[in-house]
Amino acid sequence: MKYNLPLALALLFFLTACASNEIGHSKDVNPATIYTQYSITRNKGEDSIRCRAQYRFAGQNGTTLVLSQPAMVSLDEQQLTADSSEFEGAYYQQQFAAPSLKGTHYWFYKDINGKTFKEPFHLQLPICNTSFTDSIQPNNYTLSYQQLHTSVEITVQLSDSVGNDYSFTRKLSPQNNQLQIEPAFFDSLASGPVIISTYINQIWPLQNCPAEGGTFSLYYFIQDWQLQLVRKTN
């Protein structure tokens, strides 16, 4: 089945493609000009969550940096070591089993001059209680979630086998933890195989980082359903 990426995720890939994969060292730049990127990612088909820190010289698309001692980064007091790839440059990464990462955590970064930055984050990842039969019609459907302690934005994408799709994003809160799929959302889809996918795709500015700034991004695949869309005939 052909699967179209939602616009927000396609934009994220575009920005990543524009970013430099060159590698430098933090001792060679002014610490105040280091741009900080933290990300939490769980892709479809993965049981683990990837936590990544990446540092760049002069902006979000700048040269990636290996931290020169005594500079370092840790996640929940576990110091991370540098890694790299041909397409992404240098980064620091740790994998966790998805259930084990819920709750409050923090990134800790120390620059080469000993200045420290602590960035806390809280993960309370939603669980969907909704199930579907093998076939659906263009009706109203409700996606119900649990384990919501704070507001979160969930994106729902409906896509068919010929490349049509429809996406919408809603912010859930502990008092209203449901998403409504309306009949009109199926208008652009062809009858036959369809996928309903749900995920979180949000970016926030960092509160504690060098003057150059930084972002915290969360992409978390929640669940999808592969179904048959059936339209009533007169």
Q: What pLDDT, in 10s, does the model give residues 72-96? A: 999 999 999 999 998 899 999 999 8
Residue 234 lies in a domain: no
Q: 183 in helix, strand or coil?
A: helix
Same domain flag for 50 and 116: yes
Give the chain's domain count. Answer: 2
**Residue among 114, 118, 17 at smallest CA distance from 67:** 114
pLDDT above 70 (res 2): no
Count of positions (residues) in the chain: 234
**Cα–Cα dist 189/162, whole Å:** 9
| pLDDT, average across residues 42-49 | 88
Same domain flag for 100 and 41: yes
At residue 12 the predicted structure's pLDDT band, cuts being 50, 70 and 90, is very low
Contact between 62 and 35 under an 8 Å Cβ cutoff? The reply is: yes
Residue 150 lies in a domain: yes
The more confidently predicted of residues 115 and 200 is: 115
pLDDT above 60 (res 106): yes
Domain of 93 in residue numbering reads as: 7-124+200-222
Same domain flag for 105 and 212: yes
